[in-house]
Structure 1
Amino acid sequence: MNISDKAMKKIIEAEERCIGCKACMKGCPMLIKFCENPKDLLRELKDKKEYDYSLPYSCMLCGYCSKVCPKNVDLKSIFMRLRKDIVEENNGKVPKELGTGGVDIHQKLSFSYLFTSDIENLQGDTIFFPGCGLISHSPKIVENTYSYLRTKINGIGIYTKCCGKPTVFLGKDRKFKEYYSILEKEFEDKNIKRIITGCQNCFMTIKNNSKDIEVVSLWEVIAKEGVPEDRRGIGTTINKKFTIHDPCPTRDMDIIHSSIRDILNELGFRVEEMKYNRGETLCCGAGGLVPTTEGHIAKAHTIRRANEAYTEYIIAYCQECVESMRRGGKKSYHILDLLFNDDFQNMEQINQGLIRKWVNRYNGKKIGK
């Protein structure tokens, strides 16, 4: 496909700034596939003025490249621009060969009343927005988390819609705005002033698109208010060591990284850090819809990331990351399981199937009613 003027401007600027140090390649699986050096790739794109569909849809859009680049080259923004151009060129659709039809179905259902509800149980101006992943994992954990929040924040409501981030990843700007307008209307109608998110993608998506609303991570709230009294110190009775995996969407949110570690310390778990952590964390392999569009790249990176943990057990605070670490061969837990699941040690270390997840979504919409 031919490169648009908007994309070409970004490519030329990036190629001029890039010094070919390859710092970005240490944590990026797609660059290794397409080039020996990112500067060479940028130069090739500039000269040929065209690219294959697979290139931008191989990027996990995790932001590691720009985080470690000494010249602030942002490859993520280039590949995101190319995705948008592909969609615009194909009349609002992603080419069939990329296999993203299931994502479209997921998004349509994630804004339907069959699997979601409007804001429930609101008696104030604050809501809990758990996100699709958590509800798919366990409506019970979400309900327990919401019950905890109700003891800390008077009148807090709950909203079980999706934030629309998968549609952003597809490159479908117009469709995302259509979906997000549903959230905006609900926020406005219910006079929402603060949103507490349980998902890192939800945190960033709402923060970037509803700038007049205070968006707070669930982890900040728990770290500030304290873990449930009956969970304090439970980790001291468990003879296991855990490794923390930081999700990539909130790599720039130091307060979240610190809050997670404060919570684990209060729980009493023995934890280790990965080499690439906090702001320089690596994607779990599930970012940017790459498992759907370029599955071999995602699989290899997931195995790499899981193996960077020297312990058998990994703790994450993104459900997609939890499932990725299992696919990579590790035993993994969501931090909410440590907080609100009494039987977490006996959890089956098998990712749930698609049907089970949608059943959970259906049951999850009833929380707060």
Structure 2
Amino acid sequence: MSSSQKLNNACQEILDNCSNCGQCISECPMLERIGEDLVSIAMRQPTVEEAYACSLCGLCEAVCPASLSPRTMFAEARTKAVEDDEILIDEFRYMFPDRDLNVMTLYRELNGTHYEEFPLDQTSPVAFFPGCTLLTYSPELTKAAFNNINQRYPELTLLTDCCGKPLYQLGLQRRGDDYVSYLKAKLEKLKVRSLIVACPSCYYQLRPAVSDLGITLMTIYEALGDSPVLKNQTKSDQLKLVTIHDSCPDRFEEKFASQTRAALKKRGYQLVEMEHSRKTTACCGSGGQVTHFQPELADNMVKSRLDEIKRSGAQIMASYCLSCVLNLSRNSSYVPTKHVLNLLLDLDQDFEGLKNKAKRMFDGPEGEKLWERVMAD
């Protein structure tokens, strides 16, 4: 089926079933900014700018009484825009995970981040898939997680690939499918039978692929299981009241949401919930790569979420998605932000400013040269 037909079908689903109750608009800053009811948007179909302003977070679907999915309409509009050359998507190739050099691999190169001391891409029944964000921006946490899992799975190998989700988010459907085929072939070659995943985006992105291969997929929290480190009460006398920012891909199944809350309680942390949590969690502002297309909108989403975190009264915000942590750790006047694994593994880190540090790679004359490198064909 063509991308145009898929978009038509997504729009028709809304036209046939939407009552225009406004629930999605009341929750979504992007829909509110458009200033039209959902039926009107579906009737004329989203513009390219609107498609790439959607964070693809799924909150619209979660609050819809009819379980309609406006995000599917916007996602299909992205794919159509790419296939019809309505957007110069190649200008964003610095994000493409299937390129040898992209912003993440460059960041690791410049900061001397490597994992050569670990068994990389080895034939093994059990593999750890941290995800590209954790690999890039928190090698300390990645290594600590591997070492803890390794105690339970001595044959563990480390995979440093991306799950490929950014390609789909950008509207590069065919390129995404090719990348998934590469990952499936790699997993088969390495004879992996169990795949341990740290990132919720990776978990839900990879699940259909590994299911085809008969591979068991586990979250890192399942893999840690009864690890000795999780049996001990936290030694920290401070920052005991925690609120969890849930990751958008987990909103419908709440697998990571439930497992991380149980693990934190076991470690002695007290939890307090925000107004938007679990199924109705609000996007941190990094969903759908919106920061690259609509930075002002993304910044407003960050502020809105930070205000809600502050109102919760928590002493620390924890998330099981490092992309969320990085996006929400940009303002020191708010509640400190940590990855859930930081709390569980007693590994303290300061993520503030890390995202800005990545942007500064391209400042000045040397930065211009790096930009030329990462954008080279």
TM-score scaled by structure 1? 0.84
Matched, 1:56 2:56: no
CA contact (8 A) 2:95 2:166 kept: yes
Corresponding residue for residue 145 of structure 2: 145
TM-score scaled by structure 2? 0.82
Q: Distance in 2 between matches of 1:316 and 1:5?
A: 37
1:297-341, Cα deviation, whole Å (9 max, x unpaired): 111111101111123521111111101212364420011212334
CA contact (8 A) 2:329 2:353 kept: yes
| Map 1:264-303 → 2, pairs under 5 A | 264-303=264-303
Corresponding residue for residue 365 of structure 1: none
CA contact (8 A) 2:123 2:191 kept: no
| Map 1:312-323 → 2, pairs under 5 A | 312-323=315-326
Q: Distance in 2 between matches of 1:58 and 1:284?
A: 14
Corresponding residue for residue 76 of structure 1: 71
Larger relative contact order (CA 8 Å, sep ≥ 6)? 1
One of 322, 336, 342 as aligned partner of 1:337: 342
Tell me the secondary structure at the aligned position of residue 183 of structure 1.
helix
Q: Distance in 1 between matches of 2:26 and 2:222?
A: 30
Tell me the secondary structure at the aligned position of residue 225 of structure 1.
coil
CA contact (8 A) 1:129 1:198 kept: yes
One of 215, 218, 225 as aligned partner of 1:216: 218
Corresponding residue for residue 228 of structure 1: 229
Corresponding residue for residue 31 of structure 1: 31
1:125-178, Cα deviation, whole Å (9 max, x unpaired): 110000111112221211111110011123121101111111111111121123
CA contact (8 A) 2:330 2:352 kept: no
Tell me the secondary structure at the aligned position of residue 314 of structure 1.
strand
Shift in Å, 1:35: 2.5
Corresponding residue for residue 101 of structure 2: 109
For structure 1, the 5+ residue unaligned runs are 46-50, 359-369
1:25-78, Cα deviation, whole Å (9 max, x unpaired): 233121011124222322343xxxxx5310110111111111221112111111
Read off the aligned partner of 1:336 and give its amino acid letter. Answer: L
CA RMSD of aligned residues (A): 2.9
Identity across matched positions, percent: 25
Shift in Å, 1:227: 5.4
Q: Distance in 1 between matches of 2:240 and 2:6?
A: 51
Corresponding residue for residue 364 of structure 1: none
Q: Distance in 2 between matches of 1:355 and 1:283?
A: 21
Shift in Å, 1:117: 8.4
One of 353, 358, 365 as aligned partner of 1:354: 358
Q: Distance in 2 between matches of 1:121 and 1:107?
A: 18
Shift in Å, 1:270: 2.1
Compare 120-129 and 180-189 and name the one that shifted more.
120-129
Corresponding residue for residue 126 of structure 2: 126
Name the CA shift for 1:58/1:101 in 2 (closer, same or farther; >3 Å).
same
Compare 135-144 and 108-117 and name the one that shifted more.
108-117
Corresponding residue for residue 374 of structure 2: none
CA contact (8 A) 2:130 2:197 kept: yes
Aligned length: 344
Q: Distance in 1 between matches of 2:142 and 2:16?
A: 48
Corresponding residue for residue 84 of structure 2: 89
Name the CA shift for 1:183/1:356 in 2 (closer, same or farther; >3 Å).
farther
Read off the aligned partner of 2:74 and give its amino acid letter. Answer: F
CA contact (8 A) 1:58 1:293 kept: yes
Q: Distance in 2 between matches of 1:205 and 1:105?
A: 14
Shift in Å, 1:101: 3.9
CA contact (8 A) 2:123 2:189 kept: no
CA contact (8 A) 2:200 2:256 kept: no
CA contact (8 A) 1:248 1:281 kept: yes
Shift in Å, 1:240: 4.3
